[in-house]
Amino acid sequence: MKVLISGASIAGPVLAYWLSRHGVDVTVVEHSPALRKTGGHAVDLFRPAMEISERMGVLSDIEAHATGTTALIVHRPGTARPARLDYLKIIGAMSDRHVEIMRDDLSEIYYRAGRDDVEYLFGDTITSISPDGDVTFEHNGPRRFDVVVGADGLHSGVRRLTFGDNVSESFLGGYLSVVSVPKGMARDGEMTGHFKPGHMAGIYTADHLDDARAVFIFRPSRPLDYDYRDADRQKSQLRAAFEHMGPEVDRWLGEVPTTPTFYFDAITQLEMATWSRGRVTLVGDAGYCPGPAVGGSTSLAVYGAYVLAAEMARAGDDYAAAFAAYERTMLAPVVGSRKLARVNAKTVVPNSNWGIRALVGAGRLISVLPLGVTQSLARLNTKGVRLYDTMPLPDWPAPFNGTG
């Protein structure tokens, strides 16, 4: 079987690794000329994604690239003294097994794990996909594949070619931006955050990074006149949203015009009745993005790639059966992640001073309680904060046992 995957970020390399391990001929096409170094933000891997990474033999590398954040320093309106929260206890209430890692680092680790057995076409884009699997590219010559997988993110080109505009996008009311700033602006092991109603600005770094990352999330009273491809306008909108929030935040904003890497996007959720049509299916944010920064999309993408690979290995040449089984397994986690993201989008960045006080108060309570107590309470809510720890990993079909 020949499989084409579009996208070399997270889900694409994970899917390519597992399919190639089962003897599938895999090609990955990536629009960027090399692995993207976008200055992206830190992402979370929860228990199932950690176990999948361990089976790939890359967990030690992932842990070595953890951000190392242990404390949250929170500045609030009307309070001169910041609150110091125990980040490890807060995240420990959500997951028994977790790591925070920069998205670019994670992408490179997954890519290295399978690159020797996978063909990568960098600097190219799919331009058409026929029902028979004939694919044309912007630069390479046409080829035929048995299956095409879109793992190319929220603004997926494969999804557009296959489903057109038959996709429901729900704006969750906020915007996320990540800006590369000088490393000296942050303190090792700490994330410093400033809150005001509808706004959160934070900064952090890691030992192995050459820079620091300033993160901005805001919820304006009405949607912006926004184009995800227009970086200059995005920078102006970001500065307008956060200027005069405080001297420290103003210094971060001062780096925006000259930053080497800049990310800005709406926090948007995808809802599709199916992620498959004919020989084409979608994985990760391309098919079921719950919302950047609020829905655990990275762990969901790793999990989805593993489930899809397992079902394709189990079904052999019957890709329709594989897609159906993949969607059955993913339905509950995807629906759960959507619900959780809609809640998080409102609670992570409160729209009132009272909401900010409540958020910080909850963090303080978790910080002082024994970890075992908060974990026991959190385990009672498998559809909430423990959702991503409870996604069951499918068994791998014979003859491959999936132990890497």
- The pLDDT tens digits along the chain (404 residues) read 999 999 999 999 999 999 999 999 999 999 999 887 666 789 999 999 999 999 999 999 999 999 999 999 999 998 989 999 999 988 888 888 999 999 999 999 999 999 999 999 999 999 999 999 999 999 999 999 999 999 999 999 999 999 998 788 899 999 999 999 999 999 999 999 999 999 999 999 998 899 999 999 999 999 999 888 899 999 999 999 999 999 999 999 999 999 999 999 999 999 999 999 999 999 999 999 998 888 789 999 999 999 999 999 999 999 999 999 999 999 999 999 999 999 988 889 999 999 999 999 999 998 987 766 555 545 544 445 678 888 888 887 765 444 44
Q: To 5 degrees, how large is the angle CA 96–CA 97–CA 101?
A: 135
DSSP state for residue 320 in the 8-state scheme: H
User: From residue 153, how far is each of 129, 169, 222 by CA, in Å?
Assistant: 18, 13, 25
Which contacts of 239-246 are long-range, i.e. CB under 8 A and separated by 24 or more positions?
Answer: 241/175, 241/199, 241/216, 242/199, 242/201, 242/216, 242/218, 245/194, 245/196, 245/199, 245/201, 246/75, 246/194
Rounded distance between C-alpha atoms, residue 272 and residue 166, angstroms: 8
Rounded distance between C-alpha atoms, residue 160 and residue 137, angstroms: 15
Signed CA dihedral, 23, 324, 274, 339: sign only: negative
> How much is the pLDDT for 401?
41
Specify the 3-state DSSP secondary structure of 57: coil
Amino acid at 79: T
pLDDT digit string (tens) for 138-192? 999 999 999 999 999 999 999 999 999 878 889 999 999 999 999 999 999 999 9
Specify the 3-state DSSP secondary structure of 200: strand
What pTM does this model have? Answer: 0.93
User: From residue 88, how far is each of 95, 100, 184 by CA, in Å?
Assistant: 10, 10, 23
Strands 25-30 and 2-6, by their bridges, are: parallel
> How much is the pLDDT for 368?
86
Q: In what order do the strands lie in the sheet with 71-75?
A: 83-86, 71-75, 190-196, 199-204, 211-218, 168-182, 262-271
The backbone torsions φ and ψ at residue 273, rounded to the nearest 5 degrees and listed phi first, read -70, -30
- 93 neighbors 374 (Cβ within 8 angstroms): yes
Domains of the chain, start order: 2-389 (3.50.50.60)
Q: To 5 degrees, how large is the angle CA 404–CA 103–CA 331?
A: 70
- 185 neighbors 39 (Cβ within 8 angstroms): no
> How much is the pLDDT for 380?
43
